[in-house]
């Protein structure tokens, strides 16, 4: 597991913000930064980096469909962030209570049937 310094995280978050402004997907951003999507979400949450919601005023006027698509993409981004936060909380709670994740339990029961 690689540990990143605060300076590296700060630089990565600023690069991610700029890439988001340019219209890059989160998957592409994470690939370029060499981190997972979960790591990016965790860093944004820990460093209080809000998602980019507005664009420069210098951008040309857009038609109604583009505005609607952008609105839906932003809503999708917010919902994904919420789901990611909930998954992280769930993983922490499972770890705290010593509960194995369901995917491991399922795998072990399948292995038992085979033997």
Number of domains in the chain: 2
Q: What is the pLDDT of residues 63-110, one digit of tens each?
A: 788 888 988 999 999 999 999 999 999 999 998 888 765 655 555 555
Question: What's the number of CA atoms in the CB half-sphere (13 Å) around residue 14?
Answer: 5
**b/e map 44-79, b = 16+ CB within 10 Å:** beeeebeeeeeeeeeeeeeeeeeeeeeeeeeeebee
Name the domain boundary from 52, 75, 92.
Answer: 52
Q: Can you give the pTM of this predicted structure?
A: 0.44
**Mean pLDDT within 52-65:** 57
Let me know whether 77 and 47 are in one domain.
no
> Do 86 and 43 reside in the same domain of the chain?
no
Average per-residue pLDDT for the chain: 80
């Amino acid at each position: 597991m690689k540990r990143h310094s605060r300076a590296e995280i700060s630089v990565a978050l600023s690069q991610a913000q700029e890439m988001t402004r340019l219209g890059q997907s989160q998957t592409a951003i994470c690939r370029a930064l060499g981190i997972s999507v979960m790591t990016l979400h965790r860093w944004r949450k820990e460093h209080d980096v809000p998602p980019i919601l507005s664009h420069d005023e210098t951008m040309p006027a857009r038609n109604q469909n583009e505005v609607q698509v952008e609105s839906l993409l932003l809503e999708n981004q917010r919902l994904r962030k919420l789901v990611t936060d909930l998954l992280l909380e769930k993983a922490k709670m499972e770890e705290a209570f010593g509960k194995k994740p369901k995917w491991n339990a399922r795998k072990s029961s399948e292995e038992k049937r085979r033997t």
